[in-house]
Structure 1
Amino acid sequence: MSRMFSLLALLAALYLAICAAVWVFQRSLIYFPQPLAISHPDTLLRLAVDEGEVLVSVRPRAGPNALIYFGGNAEDVSLNLPEFAQAFPEHALYLMHYRGYGGSAGSPSEAAIQRDALALFDRVHAAHPRVVVMGRSLGSAVAVRLASQRPASRLVLITPFDSLLKFATRQFPYLPIKWLLKDRFESSTYAARIRVPTLLVAAEHDEIIPRASTEALYRHFPPGVARLEMIAGEGHNTISESPAYLPLLRAAL
């Protein structure tokens, strides 16, 4: 009997150790900071934040139109500049490097990223009254929350999901994720508050985001606000390689 109790105690200790490790190291499983590839002085804006500066890759352009882009959790957003400059010639471009990414100060977290997104929008909107907000993968959660809090003109979500909490719960069903997860990215909550035209773009063979998650998010938008488009033959990381990708985004603007 004592051996059984010892075994149970060992298993309980191991389980608690796993939970503790998830609590401590979870953000290293969510965020994968990337270095900055395109860093010419005329393509960088430095946004002052509480921990120093957040870098924003930019293509300046005078006029009323601007586009703010939030990338995936392992994306160097500066690599989008050349193609975005061609695809959106009438828009000033602002591509934010999350904290810890591309030379931005600090460490990424949901709360910090959302504060920075609000600060960037306010700065951009002061110069451009029509601001499109666009986000891909993790960035889709940043974008939809921002658009629920600020007067975006349009919203574009690429390979979006409904909730990181739900996603993590499915991935780790034997862990108390509800109590452990710090950054939840509950996009569905914010989708219900969106009133501007919204495009959701999914990949037919997305191996990261289940189609059910994207469709669940779509159903949370008010009737008539959003539409869902599928790009055939592509996966989560290859969707931007499709010939249909940029024309679809351009048409949404």
Structure 2
Amino acid sequence: MPLTNLSRMSRILMITAGIIALYLALCVALWVLQRALIYYPQPRAVESSLLTLSRPDAQVLVSVREHEGPKALIYFGGNAEDVSRNLPSFSPAFADHALYFMHYRGYGGSSGAPSEDVIAQDALALFDEVYARHPQVTLVGRSLGSGVAVRLASQRPASRLVLITPYNSLEELAARQFPIFPVRWLLQDRFESWRYARGIRVPTLLMAAENDEVIARSGTLRLFEHFAPGVAVLKVIPGVGHNSISDSADYLRLLGDAL
């Protein structure tokens, strides 16, 4: 083989090896940094009463609007949400409910670092504490929190479930965002809402944004189809996006109807 052909082949092999090495390095970076891409902790902006969940390895804070009576609402927020900001609108809208807004680990003054498993365990602890005081507990989860709420509803006797801009699984979302990477093998926190939806037997509302630019309608529909017939209803709020859904007048109205 002529030397020029050998040289050209050598350069091709070197370039190919470099591309493979870069791809593998990016896979490693995604594996190491993935939780920094999922969770965006926010400080707590609205002052309120606080409930502290003393966990074995963390102190988890919960913003509370206290109310005597049987009804309570537990809210799990999105990955970049300060859940305390819901207090001014939820308090008058749900005057007959005690309100509990959980700050994930690392959020709103809670210690520790978030992950799917620790959030799920903290959610169980919060439910048990709330349920001891209020026998009718509605679970509300928005975006990332929809995965927390549906998992909790499959494990504890919630009275109702509301999922706002919900997804079928985090794996599906990651695959759309990083289509060239094997997210199925890299992802540590999967939030497989579809897996838990199968076991839900309480009235459930799925609330979608018509122009959701983060969670595809197809994913919400796939989740909806995993609920048993007659358990869940799906409502689409027109003219809003993923982050603006709560600005709609229909938002609190639909939530109130569900409660």
Which TM-score bucket, shorter chain as reference? over 0.9
2:27 equivalent in structure 1 = 19
Ranges in structure 1 where 5+ consecutive residues have no aligned partner? none
* RMSD value, Cα: 0.8
Q: Deviation above 3 Å: which 4+ runs of structure 1?
A: none
1:35 pairs with one of 29, 37, 43: 43
1:57 pairs with one of 35, 57, 63: 63
Contact 2:45 2:84 in 1 (8 A): yes
The residue matched to 2:132 in structure 1 has which SS? helix
2:204 pairs with one of 179, 186, 198: 198
The alpha carbon displacement at 1:70 in A equals: 0.2
Distance 2:203 2:139 in 1: 11
The alpha carbon displacement at 1:173 in A equals: 1.7
- Cα deviations by residue, 1:49-72 (Å, 9 ceiling, x for unpaired): 122210000001111110000000
Structure of higher CA gyration radius:
2
Is 1:121 the counterpart of 2:131? The answer is no
Distance 2:178 2:59 in 1: 35
The residue matched to 2:162 in structure 1 has which SS? strand
Aligned residues: 251
Is 1:135 the counterpart of 2:141? The answer is yes
Distance 1:13 1:50 in 2: 41
The alpha carbon displacement at 1:172 in A equals: 1.4
Is 1:88 the counterpart of 2:97? The answer is no
1:209 equivalent in structure 2 = 215
1:107 equivalent in structure 2 = 113
1:252 equivalent in structure 2 = 258
The residue matched to 1:106 in structure 2 has which SS? coil
1:158 equivalent in structure 2 = 164
The alpha carbon displacement at 1:115 in A equals: 0.5
Is 1:47 the counterpart of 2:53? The answer is yes
The residue matched to 1:175 in structure 2 has which SS? coil
The alpha carbon displacement at 1:8 in A equals: 1.5
Contact 2:73 2:99 in 1 (8 A): yes
The residue matched to 1:244 in structure 2 has which SS? helix
Is 1:7 the counterpart of 2:15? The answer is yes
Is 1:224 the counterpart of 2:230? The answer is yes
Distance 2:56 2:140 in 1: 24
The alpha carbon displacement at 1:20 in A equals: 0.5
Q: Give the counterpart letter for 1:139 in structure 2.
A: G
The alpha carbon displacement at 1:2 in A equals: 2.1
Q: Which moved more, 1:99-108 or 1:162-171?
A: 162-171
**Structure 1 length-normalised TM:** 0.98
Contact 2:167 2:223 in 1 (8 A): yes
The alpha carbon displacement at 1:39 in A equals: 2.6
Ranges in structure 2 where 5+ consecutive residues have no aligned partner? 1-8
